[in-house]
Structure 1
Amino acid sequence: MAPSPVLSTAAGPSGHAGPGTGFPGGVSRFAASALPAAPMTVALFLAMNHLIRTDLELPPALEMRPLPPLAMPEPVDLTPNVRPKPVLNDVMDLPPPPAISTVRTDSAPMPPVSLDPALPDLPLQAVSFTPLAASPIGERVPTPVRPPLPVYPTSQASRGAEGDCEVRFSLSPRGLPFDVVATCTDPGFEREARRAVSKAEFLPQIRDGQPVESHNLVYPLEFRFK
């Protein structure tokens, strides 16, 4: 804010106001100092008026509509369901059973049956049981269950060669050949003869009821064109 003007008078030699420093001169100085502050005061007034002023918009008037009448629910019948008691019929009188007539027969009376027969007197002798000895299973020689299936060697077939082989081998208790050795009229058949017998299966030899290992068995093979 602008400073308030201060009025002062210059004292003369006798203490009275001089001719050039009277009251009218003080008013002019006050007006001169207050004049620059007037626009600022007006601006502050307008700003405060703008801040205080609020444009309030009233809400539209509410339209009052009457509510429809509420439908009252029908009263519920709370009477408990009572089952009627069954009506007992009168006891019916059953007819009497038919009379049973007894028929007398003039037959001869049956002789009495005796339920205490007399046991015959048999001589009692001591009975002895002899345990049976286990009989061994019969002897069996090795028998092929899956015989050898040789394949004709290509080299021998291309030459038209034929031959005979004797394949010696041993047989395990499980019937599997081992230590297979082939002897052929043409050495070109020996490899196929050994392979065929090695892949075969036999029933092992049975001795005293147990399968045993067999040796020096011979299986003959023939390679022929048919």
Structure 2
Amino acid sequence: MGNLVRLIVGVPIAAFVTIVLFFVMTRLILVEGAPPAEDVEDRQFSINDEVAEIEARRRDTTIEDVQQVDPPPPPPQIERQRAEQPAEGLATVMGAIPDFEAPQLNSDSVNFSVSDRDAQPLVRIEPQYPMRAAERGVEGSCWVRFDVTPDGTPTNIDIYQCDSSLFERASIRAVERWRYNPKVEDGVPVARRGVETRFDFQLSE
């Protein structure tokens, strides 16, 4: 009960005190804190409103000046010459063209024949001197007999006479690398038999 009385009495007193303090503080602020009034001069800034005229340099050219320009000279005319046609005929200028009689071809008048020939060598390679014969100073000759096939290849190579057996192998190897034009009979390649050749083995001094 006592608290309620205190509240009822204290609230109006507190409100009154607050209002009094508010007015006092407002007065003090207006009296002491107000700054002195100063005269403010009116300051004006002016910008030059005048616009400088810029004179554009113009080229005084009129239509009359344009019309007075001299046109370029016309291109030179080239005189065209026309070829004169010959009054004389071609036969008169070059002479008469002789007449040729066309040849008559028939199976009886034409004959294509190939002459017969014997085997002819195309590639001949000399044998190498055997090293053993050279070391011993052996010299001599070796006779070789062989056949030639229709395609020109030596075959059936045989040594039928030789001064030393040291030369036989070298002679056979040389003939194996030879090549021939084959023998021809009646236009047909045939085998050639019994071709003979001789190799001489001599040491150089």
Which TM class, normalised by the smaller chain length? 0.3 to 0.5
More helix by share: 2
Identify which of structures 1 and 2 has the higher relative contact order when contacts are C-alpha pairs closer than 8 Å and 6+ apart: 2
Instruction: Give the TM-score normalised by the residue count of structure 2.
Output: 0.45
